A and B are shown apart, each in its own frame.
Chain A
Amino acid sequence: MSAFTSLLLRDMRIAVRVGGGALMGALFFLIVVTMMPFAIGPDLGLLARIGPAILWLGALLASLLALDRLFANDHDDGSLDLLMMGSMPLELAVAAKAIAHWLTTCLPLVVITPVLGLMLNVEMHAMGWVSLTLLAGTPALTFIGLIGAALSVTLRRGGLLLAVLVLPLTVPVLIFGVAAANAAIVGPAPFGPPFTILCALSLASFVLGPVAAAAALRHGLE
């Protein structure tokens, strides 16, 4: 098995085992969305209107939840040293870890979104569109968050710093994600432009994230 796939599978395996935290994000997402109607009140029209925004915000926070341990666990047990000595470039190793994180943390969020939409009175056909925008946009959240995770790897309380560092950078993803979902559901603006920009953000962060994160790791361990 190649080094890339072995790292990918190892991280996914750890995430789904006891204490791995693969479903923590989905549970957090569930609780955030459940609390919203209690805070906003039983106005079904209002809930349906802001539903996509709430789902996006919930998914954004949930996807950051487990991110701070992405490198910190490997740093604490010495694995990170050996990951840097692998035969493949650190950038690829970092990308493998990020893809594993996306598959175990963000993909479940996309899958349960239609169910959570019911609680917000979002119509069924609209749920498909929200899920689609999340599918296209969450890779950007993971790969931007990757940089923050690499920067905060040596800090004890890195999770808080990670959120402060990463959340401002995710603003464009949030704007275009919600814009695309709203365009598909209520119009009148076309769905295409914001959705294409969302895809572009994901693709750009897919390239930049691993390079920046690997540079941060190399610098941080010296």
Chain B
Amino acid sequence: MQLTGDNLTCQRGGRTVFSGLNFSLSGGEAMMVTGRNGAGKSSLLRMIAGLICISAGRLDLSGGEPDATLAGQAHYLGHQDALKPSLSVSENLRFWADFLGNSDATLEPALAAVDLAPLADLPAAYLSAGQRRRLSIARLIAAKRPLWLLDEPTSALDVQSQDRLAGLMRDHLAGGGMIMAATHGPIGLERARELKVSPE
């Protein structure tokens, strides 16, 4: 499985954010997207997720499921947690597991992986920022998708949870998955390559 970006250009609001970006990522590899504020790290991830259109260039995923789109094989962990305050922790996760993965998988392993199992019946409104973040990370475990697009995944997480996230990412890579993470600091992956995004 391989994700390739060829001469990608992103334009937003009439301004060129980045242009001529090339990268390739194979199964089992991680890539850290780095760059200054406003360089287009988030835009690149959103572009791969199909949430903003590609101004120029090509984006290809080869070796995945033939029927599914690129966005349909990717998980996007953005700045917002996509949780409904009136639903419980397990109801929130159940919905995303069904919607994104179309699976009947049990939720316990995913909740245990982010240490939220004791809070399964608590409405999401009562979660702290870090707990909300962990619940959205649980989504990546509950629904299986090969490409993880993580935008500042460690924000709001304490040191212990950052280590746990690093473990989850290593497991995902060991299973042949791919990770692209926009980040300013280390996220605990030693062998991650670096893709530097810089404005014009």
Cβ of B127 within 8 Å of any chain A Cβ, yes or no, is no
B86 & A14 in contact (Cβ 8 Å cutoff): yes
| Bitwise interface map of A from 53 to 86 toward B, beta carbon under 8 Å scored 1, else 0 | 0000000000000000000000001110111111
9 pairs, A vs B, C-beta closer than 8 Å: A7-B95, A13-B86, A20-B86, A81-B76, A84-B51, A85-B72, A87-B68, A87-B102, A221-B51
A82 & B86 in contact (Cβ 8 Å cutoff): no
A86 & B52 in contact (Cβ 8 Å cutoff): no
Mark out the residues of chain A between 78 and 104 whose CB falls within 8 Å of any chain B CB in the assembled complex.
78-79, 81-87
State the main secondary structure of chain B at its contact with A: loop
* B98 (CB) vs chain A CBs: closest residue: A6
When chains A and B are docked, how far (Å) is the Cα of A79 from the Cα of B74? 15
When chains A and B are docked, how far (Å) is the Cα of A10 from the Cα of B94? 10
When chains A and B are docked, how far (Å) is the Cα of A192 from the Cα of B51? 46
* A18 (CB) vs chain B CBs: closest residue: B86
Most chain A CB atoms below 10 A, which of B72, B91, B94, B102: B102
**A13-B86, A82-B99, A82-B100 known; 14 other A-B pairs, CB under 8 Å?**
A1-B104, A3-B100, A6-B99, A10-B91, A77-B80, A81-B46, A81-B82, A82-B76, A85-B71, A85-B76, A86-B72, A87-B68, A87-B100, A221-B51
Query: Which residues of chain B have C-beta atoms less than 8 A from A18's C-beta?
Result: 86
Task: Give the number of chain A interface residues (Cβ < 8 Å).
Answer: 24
Picked from A19, A79, A81, the residue with its CB within 8 Å of the CB of B86 is A19
B53 & A87 in contact (Cβ 8 Å cutoff): no
Closest Cβ of chain B to A153, distance in Å, is 14
* Residues of chain B at the chain A interface (Cβ within 8 Å): 46, 49-53, 68, 71-72, 74, 76, 78-84, 86-87, 91, 94-96, 98-100, 102, 104
State the main secondary structure of chain A at its contact with B: loop
When chains A and B are docked, how far (Å) is the Cα of A82 from the Cα of B82? 8
| Bitwise interface map of A from 5 to 40 toward B, beta carbon under 8 Å scored 1, else 0 | 011001001100111100000000000000000000
Closest Cβ of chain A to B31, distance in Å, is 19
Query: Which residues of chain A have C-beta atoms less than 8 A from B98's C-beta?
Result: 1-3, 6
Picked from B51, B74, B99, the residue with its CB within 8 Å of the CB of A7 is B99
Q: Which are the 6 A-B pairs with shortest beta-carbon distances?
A: A78-B80, A6-B98, A17-B86, A78-B82, A79-B82, A85-B71
* A81 (CB) vs chain B CBs: closest residue: B51
Query: Which residues of chain A have C-beta atoms less than 8 A from B96's C-beta?
Result: 82
Closest Cβ of chain A to B152, distance in Å, is 13
B49 & A81 in contact (Cβ 8 Å cutoff): yes
Most chain A CB atoms below 10 A, which of B81, B98, B102: B98
* A80 (CB) vs chain B CBs: closest residue: B82
A3 & B84 in contact (Cβ 8 Å cutoff): no
* A1 (CB) vs chain B CBs: closest residue: B98
Q: A77-B80, A81-B78, A222-B53 are in contact. Are A86 and B100 (CB under 8 A)?
A: yes
